[in-house]
Amino acid sequence: MKQVAKLFGGLVLMALSACSAPAPSGIDDPYEGFNRKVHGFNTAVDKNVIRPLATGTSKVIPEPVSRGITHFADNISLPGMVLNDVLQLNIGDAAHNTMRFLVNTTVGIGGIFDVATKAGAPERSTDFGETLHVWGMAEGPYTELPLLGPSTARDALGQVVDYALDPLQLIVPSDKSWIATATKAYSKLDKRGRYSETVDSILYDSADGYAQARLLYLQNRRYELGQAAAESDFEDPYAE
């Protein structure tokens, strides 16, 4: 806990001293050779493990059950988003996501049912990568992470901090933490199955799957952060 507190304190100091980050342009990929090797590994894992599991799971587990597990996984991610909203001084979204969490946790039976979206309160997604962007940290080089897929230096750091500062992880007893891990892992499989055609077209049907995944990730991420116009209707299959 002391280490987490020190990390949190350092991040707050970073926020107070931040300036505006320059808007990125083009593709900064100085480690392309290494990234392509990681991409090859990720593609092999997807082809031999993840895609077959996603396909098999969708045939065995009824769609309403899969969707309920995914809703639960999305719901337990909300406290982390609320924390990031606060760090970004985005109090409106913090209140919105807090209310969404409370509604789905109670009326939605732990988040199994997404009552809040039906009531007009969809998730306002955010993460620590966006927090770093708001604080003024530049995007950094493009990076493909093992198993996690496309990212940037800033977003890779953001994923580490999101895990370390997850409020539920700090509250839930260690012997129960596997539940969140398992449901989030299943949610990834469920989304891989639902976006199967899109992911397959990128990884297996493109002339250069690596370049296509890189372009689409950067385009979508920059659009999310308000740094680029929407150039396609592509929905990022790697998003949480």
What's this model's pTM, rounded to 2 decimal places? 0.84
Q: Given CA atoms 208, 211, 214, 219 in this order, what sign does their dihedral have?
A: negative
pLDDT recorded at residue 29: 96
Using DSSP, state whether 161 is helix, strand or coil: helix
pLDDT recorded at residue 6: 52
Amino acid at 166: D
Q: Find, among 127, 136, 178, the residue nearest to 155 by Cα.
A: 127
Q: How far apart, in whole angstroms, are the C-alpha atoms of residue 224 and residue 228?
A: 8
pLDDT recorded at residue 176: 74
Give the helix/strand (H/E) hosting 151.
strand 149-152
Give burial (CB, 10 Å; 0-12/13-18/19+) of 148: middle
Are 128 and 115 a contacting pair, CB within 8 Å?
Answer: no
pLDDT recorded at residue 237: 47
Q: Per-block average pLDDT, block size 10, for the chain (240 residues)?
A: 50 53 84 98 97 90 92 94 96 97 96 95 96 95 96 96 84 77 91 92 94 95 84 47
